[in-house]
Amino acid sequence: MKISLITVTYQSGKTLAGAMQSVLDQTYADVEYIVVDGGSKDDTLTVVQDFAPRFGDRLRWISEPDKGIYDAMNKGIRMATGEVVGILNSDDFFAAPDVLEKVAAAFGEDASLDGVYGDVRYVDAQDTTRVVRYYSSKGFRRKKLVYGLMPAHPSFYARRSCFGTYGGYDTRYRISADYDMFVRLFWKARIRTRYLPMVFVDMRNGGASSSGFAARRLIMREHLQIVREHGVPSGFIRQSLRYFGKIVSLMRK
């Protein structure tokens, strides 16, 4: 079973090598690795080209302007030829060398399975050995989408056929196209998924969805538009409760 793994890059020269090395370190070999670059001006493409001989024909990459991260992800999905598709962000890296092996095993054991997901760790951007937050998807249930809660997006792997049937990322959303995707897949389509009790990736702290009040306000606005469009019985109060949950999880840390 081939897994298509997509990494979206833009000015990612400082972190991309760690992501690419973690792909090479995977024990599962049937991996198509796709790098979609948005026209970087730093040394991102130098990193890709330096790693290319080590990947051989498993690596495919493009570099051209795009309309943002979700547009680039959609490009990667369209390029993918694997049965299963996943995303590895350019500043993230796999938490263990057998992550993709376990993902493939889960799909191989159950032909009716549409997707799998697990946990992620947020690590200090400078000292990646220091965990600053643990995001567990264990308690996720479909009804939690009402409160803006969802599985850890970097841990989500789905059959490529799901994107063909239900569509890719909606590029109208600057930050929340992953939430929109989960609403369509889990709430509307009710795809069959399994939680894998493992850490998929370590994420450097400080992504687009965690960068201050302005980002949180935009997330709220986008979430409210998403639930209205898809008929999810939610609203401002229910969506606000997700932040209470985050505070509780930090207190338990």
Q: pTM of the predicted model, to two decimals?
A: 0.93
Q: What does the pLDDT read at residue 234?
A: 86
Domain boundaries of the chain, sorted by first residue: 3-252
Please say if the pLDDT value at position 9 is more than 70.
Answer: yes
Distances (CA, A) of 205 to 54, 145, 209, 244: 28, 24, 10, 20
Please say if the pLDDT value at position 249 is more than 50.
Answer: no
Reported as a pLDDT band with limits 50, 70 and 90, residue 244 is low
Please say if the pLDDT value at position 209 is more than 80.
Answer: no
Distances (CA, A) of 139 to 18, 61, 144, 155, 181: 30, 36, 9, 14, 19
Give domain 3-252's CATH number out of 3.40.50.1360, 3.90.550.10, 3.30.565.10, 1.10.10.10.
3.90.550.10
Q: What is the pLDDT of residues 210-219, one digit of tens each?
A: 457 788 899 9
> Could you tell me the sign of the dihedral formed by the alpha carbons of 78, 83, 84, 87, in that order?
negative
Q: What is the pLDDT of residues 152-188, one digit of tens each?
A: 999 999 999 999 999 999 999 999 999 999 999 999 9
Q: What does the pLDDT read at residue 213?
A: 79
